């Protein structure tokens, strides 16, 4: 008999798995670090950790690398060998999908996608022997790579490597991003080589199901930019079929007995690229199409306000000198005092004074 899961149960399971609203925690027991915490925008990875109870973790214990979808993600430094293995393309076809239009000239030149990534990584490894700004590294890389790897970039009015092979080859080359640098500074991680086997904890398919399930192979593939075929081939054997409001999905067997655990009541300001908002079933999180379109807009994306297990609005912050103002657009009733408390927390996190909180509904 297929287990029937309600929308409320599914969202509650994610909130608990991601430890949202947890008061205290450590890097070792913070689950989202298993899949990586995207470090995009002013309120990036460290804010995501803060609202999960990990305030100002020691940077030496964290590392930032380009991984999933070519975006910068933060991981435990000790996990980097496993992360390098877990986030690598599953196949040549997967590599081609992840590097987008860069695969076409490579195919025309008879160069397999994985061979190309290794070639770029080899060149990167030889160039970056000390901290180096991305632009300088790109210039040097462009000088040693052949035509199939390069393109004319209209915004830059210059010829350089395609962006996605550049980003996805960096970890293969044993390079990390220096925290807090813009433009990015790359530097070598001494002795970094991919693990021979991927630990279950870091397996990206399992991690997605554990942190964003119940889900389908299509959801996981969309998150990774990988072919569905490759994800299906790596589907966990202990995944249990369930339905969420009548839709067929899967859940790890170990999570079935947790469906009815209490849902966290916390009110939080989620950054635009927080893992909770990275789920590929956006209509489950925000059923209203217009609100979803605004929350996940391509440019100028706001953050999400979560309260009692629901996304109840969006928020933005504007800095002016040493102060910051937070504006909130509420879609549903929420505890305004709790929102103001979180705005104060955000200001403190940024090292600024909270000037105002404007809530519209």
pLDDT digits (tens, 9 = 90+) for 325-355: 999 999 998 999 999 999 999 999 999 999 9
Q: How many domains does the chain have?
A: 2
Any domain includes 284:
yes
From 200, 210, 203, select the one nearest 279 (Cα to Cα): 210
User: Of the residues 172, 188, 204, which one is the last residue of a structural domain?
Assistant: 188
Any domain includes 134:
yes
Any domain includes 209:
no
From 47, 16, 9, select the one nearest 242 (Cα to Cα): 9
- The residue behind tokens 């029937």 is 4
Any domain includes 341:
yes
Over residues 231-269, the pLDDT tens digits come to 999 999 999 999 998 899 999 999 999 999 988 889 999
Q: Are residues 139 and 277 in the same domain?
A: no
Measured between alpha carbons, how far is 315 from 304 in angstroms, rounded to an integer? 6
Any domain includes 53:
yes
Residues spanned by the domain of 128: 3-188
Q: 7 with 279: CB under 8 angstroms?
A: no
Query: 157 pLDDT exceeds 90?
Result: no
Q: 274 with 268: CB under 8 angstroms?
A: no
Alpha helices in the chain (DSSP H): 7-17, 45-50, 80-86, 92-98, 103-108, 113-127, 134-144, 163-172, 204-212, 217-224, 228-233, 282-285, 289-295, 336-350
What tokens does 296 get?
Answer: 């996940």
Any domain includes 58:
yes
User: Of the residues 156, 188, 220, which one is the last residue of a structural domain?
Assistant: 188
Q: Are residues 280 and 177 in the same domain?
A: no
pLDDT at 264: 85
Any domain includes 109:
yes
The pTM of the full predicted model, rounded to 2 decimals, is: 0.96
Q: Are residues 156 and 62 in the same domain?
A: yes
Any domain includes 178:
yes
Give all strands of the β-sheet with 132-133 in edge-to-edge order. 37-38, 72-76, 62-66, 175-177, 185-188, 132-133
């Amino acid at each position: 008999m297929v287990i029937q899961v309600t929308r409320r149960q599914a969202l509650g399971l994610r909130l608990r798995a991601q430890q949202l609203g947890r008061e205290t925690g450590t890097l070792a027991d913070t689950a989202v670090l298993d899949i990586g915490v995207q470090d995009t925008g002013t309120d990036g990875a460290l804010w995501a950790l803060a609202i999960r109870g990990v305030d100002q973790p020691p940077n030496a214990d964290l590392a930032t690398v380009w991984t999933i979808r070519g975006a910068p993600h933060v991981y435990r430094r000790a996990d980097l060998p496993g992360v390098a293995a877990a986030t690598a393309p599953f196949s040549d076809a997967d590599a081609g999908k992840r590097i987008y239009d860069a695969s076409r000239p490579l195919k025309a030149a008879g160069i397999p996608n994985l061979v190309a990534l290794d070639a770029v990584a080899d060149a990167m490894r030889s160039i970056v022997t000390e901290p180096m700004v991305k632009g300088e590294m790109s210039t040097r890389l462009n000088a040693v790579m052949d035509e199939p790897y390069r393109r004319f970039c209209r915004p830059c009015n210059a010829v350089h490597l395609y962006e996605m092979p550049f980003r996805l080859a960096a970890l293969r080359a044993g390079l990390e991003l220096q925290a807090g640098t813009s433009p990015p500074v790359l530097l070598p991680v001494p002795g970094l080589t991919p693990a021979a086997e991927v630990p279950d904890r870091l397996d990206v398919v399992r991690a997605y199901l554990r942190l964003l399930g119940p889900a389908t192979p299509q959801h996981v593939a969309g998150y990774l930019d990988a072919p569905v075929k490759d994800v299906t081939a790596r589907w966990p054997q202990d995944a249990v079929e369930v339905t969420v409001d009548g839709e067929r999905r899967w859940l790890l067997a170990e999570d079935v007995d947790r469906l009815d655990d209490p849902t966290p009541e916390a009110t939080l300001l989620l950054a635009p690229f927080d893992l909770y908002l990275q789920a590929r079933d956006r209509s489950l999180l925000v059923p209203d199409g217009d609100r979803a379109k605004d929350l996940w807009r391509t440019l100028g994306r706001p953050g999400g306000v979560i309260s009692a297990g629901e996304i109840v609005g969006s928020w933005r912050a504007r800095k002016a000198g040493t102060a910051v103002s937070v504006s909130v657009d509420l879609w549903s009733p929420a505890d305004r005092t709790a929102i103001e408390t979180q705005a104060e927390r955000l200001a403190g996190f940024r090292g600024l004074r909270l000037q105002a909180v404007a809530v519209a509904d």
